[in-house]
Chains A and B, each alone.
Chain A
Amino acid sequence: MGIPKIWVYAEAEGDKPATSTLELLTKAREIGDTVECVYVGVNADALAGALGEHGATKVHAVDGGDVLAGVVGAAALAALIATEQPDLVLFAQSYDGRDALSRLSVKLDRPVLTNGTDLKVDGDSVLIGTAIFGGNTLVDTVFEGEKPFLAAIRPKSFAAEPGGGAAAEVVTAAPGDAGRGAEAKVLERHIEEREGPKLEEATVVVSGGRGIGSAEAYEPLVEELAKLLGGASGASRAIVDAGWVPYSKQVGQTGKTVKPKLYVALGISGATQHLVGMKGSDTILAINKDSEAPIFSVADLGIVGDVHKVVPKLIEALKARG
């Protein structure tokens, strides 16, 4: 016995569904009888194949023009929910997902559960698991009251696996009335250049924290090591806040969640804010001169030493191997 109807608020990266969307669909198809998507954008036809393969039978596609996507999404969802009556609507804990979810919760007057890392069904109950205090405590919460239940799930909580479904049917839906919310217009889009693999998808992630000492040290220590290991470079919140590296590199509660095969923490103390974003890595290597740093409590190999001494020698040794 599953949930009769689950909707996933779909997002895209260009002409491909976002990985977080495919993760949600994979889970939804396991616990739901009917799985459908709601998508704001003009390229739903390009996404229909992958969405269907991961479990969606239908995509309600909304053309929101240049209005901020989440605002259109919330208005369209509110109108569609009234007639289609899904039982559960899932969002990724992403920028647009949070915009859509927050406004929808007010339109429907429904509570939201966010930062989910687990989703379970027990009879009529829908349970969202969250990890708090840097991931050391797990809390299960069930929804009470009227459906649909609204939840946001952190990326990387579930694996995305194709299930062999046919392409989803694309159905055009009206954008709905977003009121003054629709005054938020996107004027320009900027894509930041990136070398190497994507942070969330890399098998090796090398991150730097305040212990690297300065913005200038990031390239020769963190980026260089990441490149040599075929990985992506990340950062702790401390050095993002300090303006040393862009926010897109931040790993942690307010940044990205990563689960690489190997996570290398350079000069990162391991505040709970950071641990929550990388604790799911298969293997963790930490280099930090403070032997009491909390990062060592989760590291498979901890080097108590100065990153400015250890890392250059490591880079040299890796280069010597060719």
Chain B
Amino acid sequence: MNIAVCVKQIPDPATPGELDPESKTLKREGKLILDESDSYGVEMALQLADAAGGGEVTLVSMAPNNEVSGLRTALAMGAAKAILVSDDALVGSDSLSTAKVLAKAIERVGDIDLVLTATESTDGYTGTIPGQVAELLGWPSLTFAKHIEIADGKATIQRQTEAGYDVVEASLPAVVSVTAGVVEPRYPSFKGIMAAKNKPVDEVKVADLGLSADQVGWAGARQTITNIEAAPAREAGEKVEDDGTAHERVVAFLEQLKVI
């Protein structure tokens, strides 16, 4: 079974994000890392390919400046190869344009039975890419999976709901979005890291995918950011060091709030 995993390379979430005052987009020029949300899809794909007794796991990514550091992390986990779309025309792309690029890239890889994605990225978190990619490919989508089984040409998932979960199935090929916690991602081994350096990354431009520049980037986004401002700051209140009696201060606080 051949599986494509959509992965995003993002600025390290541990360092505070910043908007570029000119382009009003998230600054992404520094080193990018594999979005942790995508490590679950990569691990799931590796396990499903193993269980199916063969097939390749291919990473599909779109990033500025031919960035590959995040891809190398996922390749080190065990993915076989990657396709990377990097093009100046993609600056300012919204989720629909991004989905168009990813769907075309998946078609370029070809012979894919299953596409795995996260439910949303950590930095942009629009949360619509899985459904958009599925619709563009003309495939069923099983979203918010916390458990996946593949058998008899079908994917069956436990889909997270507001009240609990639903069991949902669809025939392959299909797109499945996985929640964090669907599986425990492995740490890349030293051997994996060394092997990843030589794994193939197919670097392509927008034109190679048969998309025109006006379908993506700012031209395709059809939205304008009109204002950016700091939110009214929430004032930090009183800070108390516990000397063994802090619970008494909390009780007084709860009384004052009339919670008790």
Contact = CB atoms under 8 A, between A and B. Distances in A.
Given A229-B260, A243-B181, A115 B239 contact: no
Given A229-B254, A254-B119, A13 B163 contact: yes
Contacts of A111: 94-96, 220-223
B168 A321 contact: no
Name the residue among A143, A182, A301, A317 with the largest chain B CB count within 10 angstroms: A301
A264 to B, nearest CB: 9
B257 A283 contact: yes
B239 A114 contact: no
Report, as a range, how many residues of chain B touch the other chain: 35 or more
Interface in B136-164: 136, 138-144, 146, 156, 158-164
Nearest to B240: A303
B236 A187 contact: no
A240 B257 CA distance: 30
A191 interface: yes
Contacts of A261: 257, 259
A74 B104 CA distance: 22
A159 B171 CA distance: 41
Contacts of B20: none
Nearest to B252: A301
Interface stretch (B46-54, B81-89, B200-208, B242-250): B242-250
Name the residue among B156, B166, B179 with the largest chain A CB count within 10 angstroms: B166
Given A184-B170, A248-B164, A254-B180, A304 B239 contact: yes
B230 A310 contact: no
A187 B92 CA distance: 40
Interface stretch (B61-69, B106-114, B120-128): B120-128
A177 to B, nearest CB: 12
Contacts of A305: 241-242, 246
Given A105-B128, A131-B231, A145-B222, A303 B181 contact: no
Contact of A189 (B164, B234, B260): B164
A262 interface: yes
B170 A141 contact: no
Given A98-B131, A139-B228, A143-B222, A190 B166 contact: yes
Given A204-B259, A298-B236, A142 B223 contact: yes
B182 to A, nearest CB: 10
Interface in B215-236: 220-231, 233-234, 236
B187 interface: no
Contact of A115 (B126, B227, B257): B126
Interface in A99-115: 99, 101-103, 105-107, 109-115
Report, as a range, how many residues of chain A touch the other chain: 35 or more
Contacts of A9: none
A182 B171 CA distance: 10
Contacts of A188: 166-167
Interface string A291-322: 10000111111111110011101100110010
Name the residue among B99, B225, B228, B250 with the largest chain A CB count within 10 angstroms: B250
Contact of A317 (B17, B141, B163, B247): B247
B180 A237 contact: yes
Please give me the 5 A-B residue pairs with the lowest Cβ-Cβ distance, nearest first. A305-B242, A102-B131, A102-B128, A300-B237, A192-B164
Interface of B: 13, 16-17, 19, 24, 37, 94-96, 99, 119-120, 122, 125-132, 134-136, 138-144, 146, 156, 158-171, 174, 179-181, 220-231, 233-234, 236-242, 244, 246-251, 253-254, 257, 259-260
Interface of A: 13, 18, 68, 70-71, 74, 93-95, 98-99, 101-103, 105-107, 109-115, 127, 131-133, 135-145, 152, 179-192, 204, 229, 237, 240-243, 247-248, 253-254, 261-262, 271-273, 279, 283-285, 287, 291, 296-306, 309-311, 313-314, 317-318, 321
Given A136-B233, A187-B156, 12 more contacts: A68-B141, A68-B142, A70-B131, A106-B132, A112-B126, A114-B95, A143-B223, A184-B168, A186-B166, A188-B167, A248-B163, A302-B240
